Amino acid sequence: MIDSQWIFTLAVLSGAVGMWLLLPRGGRGGWPLGVPLMAIALGLGASQLLRLEGMESPQRWVAEGVFFMLAGVTVVSAVATVTLRNPIYCAIWFGLSLLGTAGLFLFAGAQFLAVATVVVYAGAILVTFLFVLMLAHPRGRAVYDRSSWEALVSAATGVVMIGILSMTVADVLTLHGEQGGALVTAAEAAGPRSDGVLADAHVAHFGAELFGRHLIAVEVAGTLLLVALVGAAVIVAQTKPEQQ
Amino acid sequence: MDTIKILLILIPALPLAATLLTAALGERVLRGRSHWPTVLAIGLSCLASLALVYQVHSGIDQARRETELAETHGEETASVGYEKVYSLWTWAAVEGAYQRPNETAWYDFHVDVTLRADPLTAIMLAMVTFVSLVVAIYSIGYMHDDPGYWRFFSYIPLFVFSMTMLVSVSNFVLLYVFWEAVGLCSYLLIGFWFQKPEAAAAGKKAFLVNRIGDFGFALGLFLLWTNYGTLNFHDVKVVEETVTVAGEEVTQTSVVPESAAVAEDAWVVGQQPGVLGQTILKSQRQLDRGEELAEGAPRYATGALATAICLLLMLGACGKSAQFPLHVWLPDAMEGPTPVSALIHAATMVTAGVYMVTRCLPLFVASEYAPQVVAAIGGFTALLAALIALTQTDLKRILAYSTISQLGYMFLGLGTVTLLSAAGAAAGMFHLFTHAFFKALLFLGAGSVMHAMGGVIDVRRFGGLRRLMPVTHWTFLFGCLALAGIFPFAGFWSKDLILVAVGEQAHQQAFGEQTRLLYSLLYIAGLFTAFLTAFYTFRAYLLTFHGEEQIPPEAGHHAHESPKSMTVPLVILAICSLGVGAFFELTGSFERFLEDAPSVAYLTAGAEEPVVEAAGTETGEHGVSHLGVAILSTVIALSGVALALLLYLGKRQWLQRLTQAMDAAMLYRLSHGKFFFDEIYMVFVVWPLRVIAWLSYLVDRVLIDGLVNLCGILPKWIGAALRPLQNGMLQFYALAMVLGLLVLIGTLLR
Amino acid sequence: MNPEIALLHNYLIVGAVLFGLGAVGFLSRRNMIVMFLCAEMMLQGVSLSLVAFSRFHNDFGGQMLVVFIIAVAACEAAIALALVLMLVRRVGKLDVAVWQSLREDNQPEFEEEKVPEEPSEKPEAWPSLARAGLTAEVSPEKTDYRRKP
């Protein structure tokens, strides 16, 4: 078996070059080479994901399949968000990525968050983005959409960061020696999830926790929202008299 | 308080006060009256010096009576010579400074401000203050309309202070300090008209050449210190006494001169012999008598060390007294005002070297070769300077070379001193004494001529002044006669003594063959130099005062006899140069007085004859007849005068032919060009130093300044390198943050 | 191996990927809105990691934080878009490279690389209606067919 380090390195290299090719670079088409490279990178990365051992067979296949699908949708949408020339398309693909993320939240048992993501994030924030895009976007495709700033350096930096983080996670979490033992202990000591985050009354517990322990934070967040609202209005309103 | 102590303090203190007063008030307040503090102070000092001479003389008599009294009681006396030493205060003190060999105790090193009164000091003080007074009075007239009048009269007492302190102090450290101080005053006064480039250059040259001598002197002092552990002349004792300080009894250790009286309950802890002190003198005499010395008894250094010390000290004396090879500064020093030349470069400062060697005679005698080196240097310089003076055309330069020559005579005399014969010491000092008077007279006369001729001093440009300036003429003639050594003027007696001393050494049986040959050569050189001296002196006199009357146009309305303030000093000095020699020599009082100075007394006390002896009035021991030398030197001097008269009086037709003959033989050019010493020094000393200085300049400008500038430029460069980080692009900043984050993650997580 | 650990492992990697991709987009895209979108994507990656940890430790804390992340993201979006609108009003472009004057003296300006001109789309010829109130001018051929010969 090839060492996971090498696979990660290869994935990083391939991903970096692919990303670079995919990024808008002044009108040149990087799709033919970039897409396969990106696919290779994602594939290599996916191969390093752990299988859910310890679960019984039928449940296991379903769980793994669902997870891979959701993760795949999320990541591919993310790539699309970053690389497409038309910003409206970027926003739409971001929406898809949000949906994938919501699905992942659901898979992890965070039901409220899944819904909140869809409703608030995809439904409100994303729509705001689209509104502003329509307000400000020029006709046709602008130069600044078709070229990027230092594509190579950015791609390399970002993908290397992914590589480092992933390799660290893989190192820590693949049960090497003492660390692994500690992890297992921690996982078991957390207790059965069905009594905690995966309980049937998950949302009720979630609400109790939110408005119980974090009440003040909630109030502050509400105030923050109000202030942001007023602030946004003020900022935009100030420039209006000039216009006239 | 002792009278002597008061006098010793007053003599230098009064001129110092005059300096400060004139410096502070001269420019605004005193102006034309700036000479008063100086003249008053030096006059009082002169009186105090004469009083000091009297006091020392009576002190000697009293000591002699006490000695005779003690001897009749069978007690042995240990003191050699008469000295009274006063320690004013401690200037610097180091505890535990050195150890003596084979001892474990650590001795302290003190530098005290100590003044001493002994015959040598008294003679020097009297001579210095008297000549200074005369010159100061002369300067009133000479410097009359000079804008720096007040400055002149603040430098002169500063010089007198330094010189009087130089001859009064009783340790080598202070001697060196005031050695430098007189050098400083010489620089200030030579370069008095500092706007004139030649004067400034001459001042610099004098100081630098002196510095070379001072360097040798300092090295000699270091050797003295390492060898003797002390730099005092006399002995000191370390006294422990209990005193009451603030109600408590405290034991105090102090260093006092040996002659000081100590309290009843004081405990003399130890004694340190001074370098020339009684303790060493005594043990050296014991050695010479063939006695055994106690273990660890102090004695003079001998052999190579002694020769080294003496030669180094001699180097210092060469610098100060303008002997070969450091004689080059004195002719240039004539750029200064003539009173300065008279005072400093004829009578006083240049004699500091002779004084120092006289003071250190016991050291010189302890070395085998040093006295001969001193004599050789002196004799050679005398001859060299006389040869140069033959062809010079600047009257003051002729006199300057004459001074160098006469100083050579003094060293020649001093160099004949041995344990068996101390005649040379008295001879050298006596010549110093008489030379001060007639050389000062000659210089002041030349100044008078220069003043009348409107600043012209080239003898070819004026002539026949004897009717125009009668007083100057006659006083100058007296001076010339004294310099040439014609009976009965002063120079005759002193030069005679020196020649006798040299002649005696030439026949000294105790010397080896080579030493006797050396002294014989020096004797012949001395005689020849006497001939040359007479010749060039009268050449100068005849060129100036005889022949056709010729007055240069610069004279203007000045061409008349000088005012009283200038002529009266001339007359005084003329009388002195006539009478001083005969008086002191025939009464023998000078030598008798000098013999009681400790440095000289040691030498004569070694002889088997009784202490009181007027050396030199009888025939010498080994057949050199005093009368014979006297007649010989007179004949030689008169022949020199005759030759000068022949060549320079009247039509001067022989002169042309002689000059052409000498020129053909290159001798004239050598002499006129001062044997090209200045040029040689320029090539071998000055140019290399200039090159080194230029290289140092380069190192300083390029390397050091470059480094410093680099320190200044470096932040600029760093800034320029870092500036592109601020290029205003938002995403660049974000990238920088991410890269930093990556580094952080990389190091922390992995 | 405990499935929880594997799940955590996978979620963390996916979160890292999202974060990294967001970083790439933020650094390279010049459209201000798209840059902000990528920033939001970075937040999503972080949220994913938080939820994973919450499940692993059976603690609601991570999910709480995610709630507040969403809230703050909303505020941030509002203000940021308001500011972007203001900036756009000044220069008429959404380009972030326009705003680069806050630099040291003598630093070179960012030069755009030459991008080939896009062929501008011909405005499609949409059919247009005649103005109301006017009779349409129609050529007789077009209306002639109604008459029976």
Task: Give the Cα separation of A83 and A90 in Å (integer).
Answer: 8
* Residue C95 in contact with partner chain A when CB distance is under 8 A: yes
Q: Which residues of B touch C30 (CB under 8 A)?
A: 731
- B626-672 pLDDT tens trace: 788 888 999 999 999 998 888 887 667 777 777 777 777 778 888 88
Task: Give the Cα separation of B153 and B306 in Å (integer).
Answer: 42
DSSP-assigned letter for residue B91: E
**Statement: residue A26 has pLDDT above 90:** no
Instruction: State which residue of chain B sits closest to C111, comparing Cα positions.
Output: B729
Instruction: State which residue of chain B sits closest to C20, comparing Cα positions.
Output: B738
Q: Which residues of A touch C70 (CB under 8 A)?
A: 113, 116-117, 120-121
Instruction: State which residue of chain A sits closest to C50, comparing Cα positions.
Output: A105
Q: Which of A130, A35, A42 is nearest to A83 (CA)?
A: A35
Q: Which residues of B touch A161 (CB under 8 A)?
A: 738, 741-742, 745
Q: Which residues of A touch B747 (CB under 8 A)?
A: none
CB B131 within 8 A of CB B440: yes
What confidence category does residue B615 fall into, taking pLDDT thresholds of 50, 70 and 90? very low
Please indicate, yes or no, if residue C24 is contained in any of the structural domains. Answer: yes
Please indicate, yes or no, if residue C59 is contained in any of the structural domains. Answer: yes
C9 and A110 in contact by Cβ < 8 A? no
Our CA-based measurement puts residue C107 at a distance from the nearest CA of chain B, in whole angstroms, of 6
Chains A, B: CB contacts within 8 A come to 29
Name, in order, each residue with C-beta under 8 angstroms of C97's C-beta and a sequence gap of 6 or more: A144, A149, B729, C30, C110, C112
* Residue C8 in contact with partner chain A when CB distance is under 8 A: yes
pLDDT of residue A241: 58
Mean pLDDT of B490-494: 88
pLDDT of residue A56: 77
**Statement: residue B273 has pLDDT above 60:** yes
What confidence category does residue B396 fall into, taking pLDDT thresholds of 50, 70 and 90? very high
CATH number at residue C45: 1.10.287.3510
Which domains are delineated in chain A? 4-192 (1.20.120.1200)
Task: Give the Cα separation of B223 and A60 in Å (integer).
Answer: 104
- A117-173 pLDDT tens trace: 999 999 999 999 999 998 887 776 777 888 888 888 999 999 999 999 998 888 888
Q: Tell which C residues from 88 to 117 touch B, by Cβ distance under 8 Å.
A: 96-97, 99-104, 106-108, 110
* Residue A9 in contact with partner chain B when CB distance is under 8 A: no
The total of other beta-carbon atoms located within 10 Å of residue C7's CB is 21
Our CA-based measurement puts residue C55 at a distance from the nearest CA of chain B, in whole angstroms, of 23
**Statement: residue A242 has pLDDT above 60:** no
Our CA-based measurement puts residue B726 at a distance from the nearest CA of chain C, in whole angstroms, of 5
A228 and C79 in contact by Cβ < 8 A? yes
pLDDT of residue B460: 86
CB B428 within 8 A of CB B500: no
Please indicate, yes or no, if residue C115 is contained in any of the structural domains. Answer: no
* Residue B28 in contact with partner chain A when CB distance is under 8 A: no
Task: Give the Cα separation of B407 and B322 in Å (integer).
Answer: 8
Among chain B, residues having any CB pair with chain C shorter than 8 Å are 723-724, 726-731, 734-735, 738
pLDDT of residue B612: 30
CB B530 within 8 A of CB B656: no
Name, in order, each residue with C-beta under 8 angstroms of C6's C-beta and a sequence gap of 6 or more: A50, A51, A52, A53, A54
C108 and B727 in contact by Cβ < 8 A? yes
pLDDT of residue A128: 93
Please indicate, yes or no, if residue C13 is contained in any of the structural domains. Answer: yes
B728 and C26 in contact by Cβ < 8 A? no
Altogether, the residues listed in chain B come to a count of 750
Instruction: State which residue of chain B sits closest to A164, comparing Cα positions.
Output: B746
Q: Which residues of B touch C23 (CB under 8 A)?
A: 738
Q: Which residues of C touch B726 (CB under 8 A)?
A: 103-104, 107
When comparing pLDDT for A227 and C130, which is higher? A227
Mean pLDDT of A32-51: 87
What confidence category does residue C76 fall into, taking pLDDT thresholds of 50, 70 and 90? very high
- B170-214 pLDDT tens trace: 989 999 999 999 999 999 999 999 999 999 999 999 999 999 999
Token pair listed for C134:
């006017």
CB C28 within 8 A of CB A144: no
Out of A129-138, A193-202, B39-48, give the one with best mean pLDDT. Answer: B39-48
Q: Which residues of A touch C65 (CB under 8 A)?
A: none
A160 and B742 in contact by Cβ < 8 A? yes
Task: Give the Cα separation of B372 and B231 in Å (integer).
Answer: 25
If you average pLDDT over every residue of chain B, what do you get? 86
Task: Give the Cα separation of B402 and B345 in Å (integer).
Answer: 11
Task: Give the Cα separation of C19 and B404 in Å (integer).
Answer: 100
B741 and A161 in contact by Cβ < 8 A? yes
**Statement: residue B620 has pLDDT above 60:** no
**B253 backbone dihedrals φ, ψ, rounded to 5°:** -105, 130
Please indicate, yes or no, if residue C39 is contained in any of the structural domains. Answer: yes
Please indicate, yes or no, if residue C58 is contained in any of the structural domains. Answer: yes
Q: Which residues of B touch C97 (CB under 8 A)?
A: 729
pLDDT of residue A60: 84
B731 and C104 in contact by Cβ < 8 A? no
To the nearest whole percent, how much of chain B has pLDDT over 90?
A: 46
* Residue B736 in contact with partner chain A when CB distance is under 8 A: no
**Statement: residue C148 has pLDDT above 70:** no
Q: Which residues of C touch B731 (CB under 8 A)?
A: 26-28, 30, 35, 96
Task: Give the Cα separation of A235 and B421 in Å (integer).
Answer: 117
pLDDT of residue B74: 66
pLDDT of residue B175: 95
pLDDT of residue B745: 86
Q: Which residues of C touch A241 (CB under 8 A)?
A: none
Q: Tell which C residues from 102 to 121 touch A, by Cβ distance under 8 Å.
A: 110, 112-116, 118, 120-121
CB A149 within 8 A of CB C97: yes
Q: Tell which A residues from 124 to 153 touch B, by Cβ distance under 8 Å.
A: 149-150, 153
Please indicate, yes or no, if residue C74 is contained in any of the structural domains. Answer: yes
Instruction: State which residue of chain B sits closest to C103, comparing Cα positions.
Output: B728
**What is the crossing angle of helices B172-190 and B149-168, to 10°?**
160
Per-residue DSSP letters for B314-369?
HHHHHHHHT-TTS-THHHHGGGS-HHHHHIIIIISTTHHHHHHHHHTHHHHHHSSS
Please indicate, yes or no, if residue C129 is contained in any of the structural domains. Answer: no
Query: Is ipTM strictly over 0.95?
Result: no
Residue B374 host element (H or E)? helix B370-389
Cα angle vertex B735, ends B730, B738, to 5°? Answer: 130
Chains A, C: CB contacts within 8 A come to 316
Q: Which domain holds residue C9?
A: 3-99
Provide the number of structural domains found in chain C. Answer: 1
Q: Is the dihedral of CA B347, B569, B399, B581 positive or negative?
A: negative
Instruction: State which residue of chain C sits closest to B723, comparing Cα positions.
Output: C104
B221-225, B440-444, B509-513, B631-635, range with the lowest pLDDT:
B509-513
pLDDT of residue B607: 53
To the nearest whole percent, how much of chain B has pLDDT over 70?
A: 92
When comparing pLDDT for B305 and C135, which is higher? B305
Q: What is the CA radius of gyration of chain C?
A: 28
Q: Which residues of A touch B732 (CB under 8 A)?
A: 150
Our CA-based measurement puts residue B749 at a distance from the nearest CA of chain A, in whole angstroms, of 7
- B90-141 pLDDT tens trace: 888 888 777 766 677 777 777 888 898 989 999 999 999 999 999 999 999 8
What confidence category does residue C121 fall into, taking pLDDT thresholds of 50, 70 and 90? low
Name, in order, each residue with C-beta under 8 angstroms of B484's C-beta and a sequence gap of 6 or more: B491, B530, B533, B534, B537, B538, B637, B640, B641
pLDDT of residue B623: 46
To the nearest whole percent, how much of chain A has pLDDT over 70?
A: 94
CA atoms within 13 A on the CB side of A157: 24
Mean pLDDT of C68-94: 92
* Residue C16 in contact with partner chain B when CB distance is under 8 A: no
The side-by-side arrangement of strands in the sheet containing B236-245 is B248-257, B236-245, B267-272
A231-235, B264-268, B590-594, B613-617, range with the lowest pLDDT:
B613-617
Per-residue DSSP letters for B397-462?
HHHHHHHHHHHHHHHHHHTT--SS--HHHHHHHHHHHHHHHHHHHHHHHHHHHHHHTTT--BTTT-
To the nearest whole percent, how much of chain A has pLDDT over 90?
A: 50
Mutate which: A147, A160, A210, vs C, most C CBs within 10 A: A147
pLDDT of residue C140: 73
The single-letter code of the amino acid at B453 is M
**Statement: residue C65 has pLDDT above 60:** yes
